[in-house]
Amino acid sequence: MIHRLCIFGVGLIGGSLAKALRSASAVDSIIGCGRTEANLVRAVELNVIDEYTLDPASAVADADMIVVAATLGATRSIFEQITEHIAPTAIVTDVGSAKARVVDAARVCLGGNFSQFVPGHPIAGTEKSGVEAAFATLFRDHRVILTPLVETNRDALKVVFEMWRVTGADVIEMAVRHHDEVLAATSHLPHMLAYALVDCLAELDESNEIFTYAAGGFRDFTRIASSDPTMWCDIAIENRDALLSALNSFTVTYGKLFSALESNDRDQLLRIFTRAKNAREGAMRKIPE
């Protein structure tokens, strides 16, 4: 049981976690903290949190579980502001999509509390943002990856593991670097491609007509281009090295596709398309609905 939960960033992820834990009667009280008071007021109105503050130091004063669900760009600043005010037994975790830089920031900023930090990342979300997009079943049957370190307190790890398990998530552990490489390929790269495609088409002279006649395939492929640009800019920068590697791999494959089309090589196109179809069908059997 979490007695007092503090959430930085009461949006889709932070708000959904609060709702899931409240629904499971796994938390006594929840305080939210963020930069936008209107969003926090709305979170109280929706009974997502019990109270809020704009002051990070007072937010963590009595909390036994602190969840940083703000944008990656704000994470280091939050660590810096709370480090002197965290109770010795309080657990700190996060939901960031890129772990290496978060871990580096925690190691520098949290000092003696670093062993109480359990890096985490729920593999769940939608293209929507804000507390009104939050819902209690967001994490059900989805994976949550924890990336504990040698220094991580085992008891703290167990508590965070149980917190996510209560939401209905499948909780697994992974090394920090491996996490960032996997997510660069499976999540960050697709977002870059969706943003790039829509931006490319929007720059064309015929963009209005193109979007008018766009059908289901365009809608499905580009859905994630409606995601929060600030959040995804932070993710791209924070996971820069792994994302550049993934982009480079894609560029090689794209070059093969371009070359095959340019040379009218139907056999090569068919090989690429067939491999992709088979790989996707195999992958979809492993992905939660």
pLDDT in tens, 108-130: 999 999 999 999 999 998 878 89
| Phi and psi at residue 174, to the nearest 5° | -155, 150
Query: Is 289 a residue whose pLDDT tops 70?
Result: no
The model's pTM is 0.89
Could you tell me the residue ranges of all domains in the chain? Answer: 2-174, 178-284
Confidence of residue 275 (pLDDT cuts 50, 70, 90): very high
Fold topology of 178-284: 6-phosphogluconate dehydrogenase C-terminal fold (1.10.3660)
Total H helices, total E strands in the chain: 13, 9
Pick the closest to residue 255 from 272, 230, 276, 237 (CA basis): 272
The CATH homologous superfamily of the domain defined by 2-174: NAD(P)-binding Rossmann-like Domain (3.40.50.720)
SS3 53: strand
User: Higher model confidence: residue 207 or residue 92?
Assistant: 92
Alpha-carbon dihedral angle through residues 137, 285, 254, 208, given to the nearest 10 degrees: -50
Query: Is 286 a residue whose pLDDT tops 90?
Result: no
Pick the closest to residue 102 from 74, 127, 126 (CA basis): 74
Structure-token match 């657990």, residue found = 91
**pLDDT on residue 214:** 78
Question: What is the pLDDT averaged over residues 85-108?
Answer: 96
CA angle 201, 204, 206 (to 5 degrees): 100
Instruction: Give the rounded distance of the alpha carbon of 264 from its chain centre.
Output: 41
Query: Is 77 a residue whose pLDDT tops 70?
Result: yes
